[in-house]
Structures are given as C-alpha cells and as structure tokens.
Amino acid sequence: MNPDQARRKKAGGSGRYDRQVLLPDIGSDGQRKLADATVLIVGCGALGCGVADQLARAGVGTLRIVDRDVVEISNLQRQTLYSQADADRAAPKAMAAAARLGEINPDIRVEPVTDDFRASNAESLAAGVDLLVDGLDNFDTRYLLNDLAVKHGLPYVYAGAVGTGGLVMPILPKGGGQGQAVSWDAPTPCLRCIFPEPPPAGASPTCDTAGVLGPTIAIVTGHQAAAALSLLVGRVADLDRSMHSIDPWAGEDRRMRPGTPRQACPCCGQRRFEWLDGERGGAAESLCGRDTTQILPAAPGPVDLDALAARLNPHGEVRHDQHVLQVDLTEDRVRVTVFADGRALIGVGDPARARTLYDRWVGA
C-alpha cells in the first residue's frame, strides 16, 4: 500500500466507515482521530467484549486488551466476542478477543495481553494510550485504574454491571488532558471522589452470585463506547458527563450530576496513588507446598459470613460459623475458605486463578 492509500484507508476511504463519517460530529477528521487513537481495555469479560466490539467496528486504530482469564461456557450468555469453540478449548480471553476482532476489522491493530492488571505492570501497559476503558468486575482493580487515570491525566470510562442494573460514567481527571490527544478544561470527579473506599470484602453481590442480564451489558457498553468515541473525536464539551444508572428490566434510567472533584479526595485532590504505589490493593500468594493460595483483601472485613453463606448456598456445599466459612464449589470444583476479616484460602496454586475465584465468589 502506498502512503496515499494508507492515508485514505485511515480516513475511512475504503467505505467501511461511510455511515459513521456522515455524522456531523465525526466526519473524516474525526475518523482520522479514531484511526490514530490507542485505547486500553482492562478486563475482557462482558463489558470489555461489548466495548471492544464497538470500538473495533468504529475504526479505533489500536486496542490493547488485558485479561487474565480463559473463556468458560458460562461466559457465552453475555461475552459477545466468544464462541463455543473458545470455551471448549479454554482459550485465553485476550487472545480469543483479538482473533475475533481481527475478523471483524482487519484494518486495526489489536494487542492482546494475558496477564493480571496490577500495580507493577499498570503503567507499562498504559504507555502511549489515549483513553482507558473499564471492563472490570472488581473494585480493587478499578481503584488502580482510577489512580492511573488521575496520575497521567488520562480519560477513563468507568462502568459496572451486576444483576439487571449497570452504571456508566466518564472520568476526566483534574490536571489532565493537557497536550494529549483528548483534552478538557472542566474536570469531573474521579472514582474515589464518588466512592472514597472500596466496599468491604464479601459485602457486594457479584455476577456469579447475583447473576447478570445480557441486555443490561449491551446498554451499558453502548453508553461506554459512545463516551469513548465522543472523547476520541474531540467532542468533549457536549459529552454526557453524568453518572448514568440503567436497569432495563426495571425500566429505570437515571442520570445523576457528578458535581466537581472533591478537594479532600485522596486521589485527585491530594494526588496520593495508594493502589498504583502498591500500598493498597489485595495480595495473592501461593502457600508453600500446598495447592492453595491466600488472598488478602484490599479492604479487610468484617465479612458478614451469614449473608455470604446465603449467597453461596446455591453454588456448593457451605459450612460456617461466625469466624470462618468453607464452601466446596460445585462448578469450579474448588474449596474456598473465608475468614471473618475477609482473608481467604483458595484451593488452587495459581495466584491469578485464585484472585479470579475470590472476585467471583467472595467479591471486593
């Protein structure tokens, strides 16, 4: 391809983006900005799949996708990039997503990373990116992503979904957006302005204990992708900055004004990056000589073991008193022991797998 053809292709000259270029807020200028953009998608479960699919089709030039898990049969109900074949061979999600996205749009670049997103690799994984997308299922990693966004002044599209409801909010951190691909004058609150501390371990429902409705994911990721595209083409002033709460099952759709950044916020107010600096955030360590990993939660207990037992009962055989709960999980065929302070022992030797199981069944 000669340079002219390359430029035409970047600007959508192949016809692929015709209907999108027609939109007055995008046009060929916006299409060029999308082609030049790099987006980091952290987590490629239900949310990550939905956003990655839409950004790939829209022609975002580079998608870097980080996920530590493999595809399982119970993912297919809502994780739209994966197939039965991916589940049958337990394909790593990042790799399976990259393969599928390559079929959808071979003109873009997809960089799959099969790893745990953590303090020690977060900054290198975010090198050169213009925008961060939240495809996560746990608060610990979200605070890490929020630290990264605030420290480096990167826009971050937060989202979460469990049960039939979901939340979406774009975060434009204070002091960010200068001299970068996406720029803004008026900042929004960061995640810690709104939720100063993570919920205590075991306090919140997870997709695995409460379920999740596929259509909710479609709506939440639609709003997430719209925010990402709006920011990447430079449509910042008219961006919907609300904290958007959606429940299509209950027919609820609410927008809350997020207000302005909190002066006392430890992250964007005082610029203390506790998760990124590794001071906080859960730890996973294999126990020597045993096929067991210990998980230390980011926000130590107390855990309501009665409530946790009630949530886990449908999923395995649960025994508990006020100090400790033990469950033999049917589907994952693993024993999980949770102490009242949130510490847990997971019956697998691989720390990444153990963390997945903890987030899935105990939740942070």
| Catalytic positions, written as ranges | 207
- State yes or no: residue 144 binds Zn ion (CB under 5 A): no
* Residue count, binding to Zn ion (CB under 5 A): 6
- State yes or no: residue 94 binds Zn ion (CB under 5 A): no
Give CA–CA dist 311/299, Å, rounded. Answer: 20
Q: Which is nearer to Zn ion, 17 or 273 (CB)?
A: 273
Q: Which is nearer to Zn ion, 217 or 268 (CB)?
A: 268
Q: Which is nearer to Zn ion, 87 or 190 (CB)?
A: 190
Retrieve residue 51's tokens.
Answer: 């956003």
Q: Which is nearer to Zn ion, 50 or 176 (CB)?
A: 176
Q: Which of residues 170-229 bind Zn ion (CB under 5 A)?
A: 190, 192-193
Question: What is the nearest approach in angstroms of Zn ion to the Cβ of residue 190?
Answer: 3
Judge contact between 72 and 119, C-beta under 8 A. Answer: no
Give CA–CA dist 285/305, Å, rounded. Answer: 23
Q: 174: burial class by Cβ within 10 Å (0-12, 13-18, 19+)? A: buried
Which of these, 225, 211, 149, 214, lies nearest to 184 by C-alpha position? 149
Helices and strands (DSSP H and E) totals, the chain: 13, 14
Question: What is the nearest approach in angstroms of Zn ion to the Cβ of residue 171?
Answer: 9
CA distance to 20, 35, 54, 182, 229, per residue, from 59 (Å): 10, 6, 9, 17, 10
Question: What is the nearest approach in angstroms of Zn ion to the Cβ of residue 161?
Answer: 23
Question: What is the nearest approach in angstroms of Zn ion to the Cβ of residue 150?
Answer: 7
Q: Which of residues 44-63 bind Zn ion (CB under 5 A)?
A: none
- State yes or no: residue 265 binds Zn ion (CB under 5 A): yes
Question: What is the nearest approach in angstroms of Zn ion to the Cβ of residue 192?
Answer: 5
Give CA–CA dist 171/155, Å, rounded. Answer: 6
Cross-strand pairs, 326: 319, 337
Could you give the residue ranges of the DSSP H alpha helices within the chain? 3-10, 18-21, 27-36, 46-58, 84-88, 93-104, 119-125, 139-152, 191-194, 207-210, 214-232, 305-312, 351-361
Q: Which is nearer to Zn ion, 190 or 338 (CB)?
A: 190
Residue from 268, 325, 344, 364 that binds Zn ion (CB under 5 A)? Answer: 268
346 three-class SS: strand
Question: Interface with Zn ion by CB under 5 A: which range of 42-50, 239-247, 261-269, 291-299?
Answer: 261-269
- State the residues that interact with Zn ion by CB under 5 A: 190, 192-193, 265, 267-268
